Structure 1
């Protein structure tokens, strides 16, 4: 044996700076492993106090951000709820044939995939689902230690009207949906999210007594349409002070494929079924309702965080909060999601983990497929081979750590890639024929108001980003 070589190797290791893994808590048994509180919020924009947007009142989400790491540039894989959730929970990217729309079933599109909660369940965790986690309540049932729970009467329209007047409109409206908003003087538990928070609190008290770690998933519905929230949350805002989109128009040179008719909103009573824009009054009501619902859900999240503290669980619980995608509040003349603009693809993500720094904010490019491997590493679990993301633990350990060079998303036939400066999107048919393209320079045009894909001098940028798309989605592009 070469003892000199061995001694040199040993000295190099002993003198090497403490690795990120040394900073993580060391778990001696399954019972000592960290709990997971996994909070999903539907249609949540990164328009919160902790994201530098103080108009929306979100003290509890802001509190969570101060206790962990806020990812300022986190992106969903697809801007529609069912597909986004299936992608995140399986760690797999959408493609032309997988995870396509709101009605996605992970069971059907990825039947062999081991889901995030299932992996934890198979490694000694007790897994519980409350509210909206998968789009379908009975999707991937093997993920959970007990049947997923949702409030009674919660259907796929997520409607939760508290007043008889609104319920009568539901009955009268042809497609079974009611008004786009409701403001009622009722307690928090009159609406679904209040019920979901109450159930999750009961579960935390129950799970604390069990001799195994838990994975508690809590999926809040608001600020998803309809914008229904108790009056006290509407009263937090003066309509005269609410901001308006600075760019309520289609981007210059944007292709038709990039835009849509916001059909999701048009399904609701009181919203015109045709026309390119809402009235000024209705637009203001929509913004007001969105803000009220965000504050309502923030209050429910606060109740969960308070309960963690009261039960003395906070020090050994990883808390993850994510919005399944962004939402448009008339930017580019659009409402809802369903597009390849930043407003739909960028979404909130924050992670608090025991033993790791608090109050961090990172500009690292990250994706939702990174959440699965991150939780595995934080909990000392091996990662399933199926995963397409990478762990964020290096960034959680030191926020200045670089993230990915590129992040990827898609919607319908539009595939999009973002690097530090640019976003490139192209729409193509299955045979690879391109029929629309966009390029935005986020350094010069952060609001994406001018499509510069055909401007002279940008050819090399387009080529670079296009090649990254083709490399990531190899099976989706023909040669």
Structure 2
């Protein structure tokens, strides 16, 4: 697929790139294509991590701006994607968003079948008010309102994840464990309905592009893949791209995480049960093999969507944003899921591609992935509601500023907190009364905990103060 690199913009959380001027104000407003993956670690972008084949995402990185340090803020539930997607669609920080959801749930108890009025319109409604035709298909997982309430056109609206089966857990036990295979359509999951869900989403997206190209209105497309969430199912040809002997173990692999139970990542966590306890090298390699296959399969579908956009004649006037709702561990630190504060799980890819942007620019400043939401409002010339907490990335993308977030905050239920400032990250595990301190510049794999090293006592104190301050700013009362 040929791509006009300076005419495409994609945001990839976890990479770094920068952009240039915006489209001519006299021209038609730019289209906006938002592609959201699920459970995708930033290192699974081929040109970043090097082990996964993602030629189409690589082209987006090469032709646009990517971010090396893009983060999800965390979650109030084990389903981290629920919090992430609510933040995208409301523009609110994690605990402000949680408060809004509680208000919504209370409203629905006494006002059945009536939309929650709230105090903020959804992302798509704000773009609709700015003159956009809005479209959604794929994984929704937002409880405050249905996709049909807030988008003009809706394709297939999926639930949180494809159905897992008992055979999909605690596996593989050894080389002879073949009870569950990614290409076995009898297990359902991504194969439910006969066609892989990523391919269904591809076809629906292409259908809307064909339709939208005949319309004078600009469009906002929100395309949400269930991939690369488990069950990690892909056609056999994709699994065969990754021979098990070629799969590398993460450098920070360990059989068990010492604080797993204290941080909510022990056997009681669904995600954690996908692989055996303790983690074995073989089980982690197989899980990563299947994960890589699903990511590559998704990349092929994304390539076909972008090809259709180019054929429609709309590519030159479209900003493309690509990210995932968070990352994933799959063996890093003995963890499998995303419910942790390490870089592999809190971070995600973020790529932006579009008209007038600088090709191959990589931004190393820290941002939140949900900063995409106000970025699109600014591109669309829409009003920026006071209630939107996140901030536009355009100043960073266009080079008007070189400064990102001074502080990044992370939270998981009432079990984990973290703060990042400068080269440092502090994690706090309240249940274990444990702090972990890492210099992420010198120790990117977060393997050397300095919290109990007396040489870093002053740094530990400073970071504890930063965390306490940020918790106040974030209206974080979960630990009260």
Q: Same fold (TM over 0.5)?
A: yes
2:129 — aligned with what? 122
2:71 — aligned with what? 75
Q: Quote how far apart the aligned CAs of 1:62 are.
A: 0.6
CA RMSD of aligned residues (A): 3.4
In structure 2, relative to structure 1, the CA distance for the partners of 1:287 and 1:408 (3 Å cut) is: same
In structure 2, relative to structure 1, the CA distance for the partners of 1:179 and 1:114 (3 Å cut) is: farther
- Structure 2: gaps spanning 5 or more residues: 1-17, 107-115, 169-177
Structure 1 consecutive aligned stretches of length 4 or more whose deviation exceeds 4 Å: 104-107, 135-138, 178-181, 184-189, 250-256
1:205 — aligned with what? 210
1:444 — aligned with what? 442
The TM-score, its normalising length taken from structure 1, stands at 0.80
Q: 3-state DSSP class of the match of 1:319?
A: strand
Deviations 1:373-398 (A, max 9, x none): 11111222221111112211111112
Contact 2:348 2:369 in 1 (8 A): no
Contact 2:139 2:160 in 1 (8 A): no
Q: Quote how far apart the aligned CAs of 1:409 are.
A: 1.9
Q: Quote how far apart the aligned CAs of 1:473 are.
A: 2.0
Contact 1:409 1:417 in 2 (8 A): yes
Contact 1:406 1:418 in 2 (8 A): yes
Contact 1:326 1:346 in 2 (8 A): yes
Deviations 1:186-213 (A, max 9, x none): 9998210101001100110001111211
Match among 44, 51, 54 for residue 48 of structure 1: 44
Contact 2:95 2:475 in 1 (8 A): no
- Structure 1: gaps spanning 5 or more residues: 1-19, 161-165, 171-177
Q: Which structure's CA Rg is the greater one?
A: 1
Is 217-226 or 450-459 further displaced after alignment?
450-459
Contact 1:315 1:354 in 2 (8 A): yes
Inter-partner Cα distance in structure 2 for 1:124 and 1:421: 43
Inter-partner Cα distance in structure 1 for 2:238 and 2:259: 37
2:347 — aligned with what? 346
Q: Quote how far apart the aligned CAs of 1:118 are.
A: 1.5
Deviations 1:39-85 (A, max 9, x none): 00010111235552221000001111112101110001126111111
1:113 — aligned with what? 120
1:88 — aligned with what? 88
In structure 2, relative to structure 1, the CA distance for the partners of 1:287 and 1:134 (3 Å cut) is: same
1:260 has 2:265 as partner: yes
1:139 — aligned with what? 146
Deviations 1:212-258 (A, max 9, x none): 11111111111110010011211211211111122223899868534
Is 462-471 or 76-85 further displaced after alignment?
462-471
Contact 1:86 1:105 in 2 (8 A): no
Inter-partner Cα distance in structure 2 for 1:21 and 1:248: 36
2:323 — aligned with what? 322
Match among 31, 34, 37 for residue 35 of structure 1: 31
